Structure 1
Amino acid sequence: MERWIDYYGNVSHYLSFERGYDHLEISGMSKVEVQPRWIPPHEQSPLVRTILEQLILNHSETGLHPLEMREASPRIDHEHEAVIQYANEIFHEERPILVCLRDLLARFAEEFKFDSTATTVNSTVEEVLVNRRGVCQDFTHLAIALCRAKRIPARYVSGYLRTHPPAGKPRRRGADASHAWVSV
């Protein structure tokens, strides 16, 4: 087994088998420390222009590399004409970033429909934008493309959402499954 520190400073391991196996069990343990973050009221968040100016100075409080989160990737074409046009309707340099993001989410809620039969893992952001249907990964890819079309860094975050409904109540639809989010 190989061990290394990845690009973001995480301890990583690589394990490869040359032959088949009858049983494989991998367990892991993590300790995660979290701290509450202060988030300003939407209207008091930095302007989009300010965010873009800070990027030019390569200023990042998180230690991440935000300039790299503005580039195209295999799943995200942010240079498609329809993506750029939709992004221009939402993001303006003189608006606070959180106001823009709130508007983006509101538009998704109003204009798009969750439909697990509408897309596949190979669907493009353009197809999702045109058809206005998809699942969390589709909407996440589209949100990233819209941000990147305006040169705002955004990245894909995935995880497992585990819910604990009140006693006697059913779990929420789509809960207890893998999900996708956008980090801006």
Structure 2
Amino acid sequence: MRYRVRHLTEYQYSSAVTLCYNMTHLLPRNTPKQQCLSQRILVTPTPIYQSAGEDYFGNETFYFSIQEPHKKLAIEVECFFEIEEEDLPNQLQLHDMTCGDLRRLLAQPWTPELRMVKEFMLDSTHIQCSKLLRDYAAETFADEVPVLQAALDFTHKIFTEFTFDATATDVTTPAETVLKERRGVCQDFAHFAIACIRSVGLPARYVSGYLETLPPPGQEKLVGADASHAWFAIYVPELGWVEFDPTNDLMPNGQHIVTAWGRDYADVSPLQGVIFDGGETHSLSVSVDVQRI
């Protein structure tokens, strides 16, 4: 399956920004099931300096600086992908390592890969483990339950017990608050799932990207109606990192396009940097189009 993705981010400032330095996580990464065929990024005003790079987690980064006064900043990314679907039911049937087996394996990590995986069991900027979260997830991730089945059941548990609400939270909302309110957005549900999984002693990481949305039958797809999205992945030896989407109660397979992954949102935020001046207020608009070709 092939896709074209266009992502447009625009900032409007109340007064001119005189200087800015920024780093983006908007360019896609290649994975075993996803290959980027081509990509371009266009920044307006034209940067005086720009360069592509790679961060600690292997994500594609793009640095730029603008040294002319501007009240509007636009970043447009266009990419073409090819994605292969996986036999997910077969994965669930054939890989039966239990949560207890994985915990015992991680207690004495004997390979470099396992030692690196343990980094995703620790607290991070937006994720803190706790007894409350451990108690909520403990039964689902009991020792005798296969890891993949437990993750799938937990994905369904979040989907059925929590409500999607774009006004209930922000990027700093703690996982315990999400548990208490039972409301949030994809970012919250990903953070919450990761915090719970780490609290029961298993490794989980944050995945950001795009999700193709399909219009109701008989209606045309609206321009800009697709979305940036977030989900999580859990580590299973031999398979590696296996992804789950609690917002949509499924295992991503074909319609999810990965841009970056890390410990949490702080590692992969789409745009971060420093600006000088710009006034007291600004507005942000984001438009995403995911088109099958």
TM-score band by shorter chain is 0.7 to 0.9
- What does the per-residue CA deviation read over 1:84-122, in whole Å, with 9 as the maximum and x for residues that have no partner? 211212211221011211221222133222222322222
Q: Which residue of 2 aligns with 1:68?
A: 119
Shift of 1:138: 1.1
Shift of 1:35: 4.5
Q: Are 1:48 and 2:99 matched, yes or no?
A: yes
- Computed over aligned residues only, the root mean square deviation of the Cα atoms, in angstroms, reads 3.0
Q: Are 1:57 and 2:110 matched, yes or no?
A: yes
One-letter code aligned to 2:65: S
Q: Which residue of 2 aligns with 1:16?
A: 65
One-letter code aligned to 1:100: A
Q: Which residue of 1 aligns with 2:149?
A: 99
Per mean C-alpha deviation after superposition, the further-off stretch among 48-57 and 123-132 is: 48-57
Shift of 1:143: 0.1
Change (3 A) 1:170 1:71: farther
Percentage of matched positions with identical amino acids: 37
One-letter code aligned to 1:121: V
Q: Are 1:136 and 2:189 matched, yes or no?
A: no
Per mean C-alpha deviation after superposition, the further-off stretch among 109-118 and 139-148 is: 109-118
- What does the per-residue CA deviation read over 1:6-35, in whole Å, with 9 as the maximum and x for residues that have no partner? 324455331112333477665555565544
Shift of 1:2: 3.6
**SS at 1:181's partner residue?**
strand
Q: Distance in 2 between matches of 1:109 and 1:37?
A: 23
**SS at 1:92's partner residue?**
coil
* TM-score, structure 2 as length reference: 0.52
Runs of 4+ in 1 over 6 A off after TM superposition: none
**Greater RCO (CA < 8 Å, at least 6 residues apart):** 2
Higher strand residue share: 2
Q: Distance in 1 between matches of 2:177 and 2:220?
A: 33
Q: Quick check: 1:90–1:104 contact (8 Å CA) kept in 2?
A: yes
Per mean C-alpha deviation after superposition, the further-off stretch among 121-130 and 22-31 is: 22-31
Q: Distance in 1 between matches of 2:163 and 2:93?
A: 25
Shift of 1:146: 0.7
Change (3 A) 1:160 1:90: same
Q: Quick check: 1:42–1:99 contact (8 Å CA) kept in 2?
A: no
Q: Quick check: 1:43–1:99 contact (8 Å CA) kept in 2?
A: no
Q: Quick check: 2:52–2:62 contact (8 Å CA) kept in 1?
A: yes
Match of 2:197 among 128, 134, 147: 147
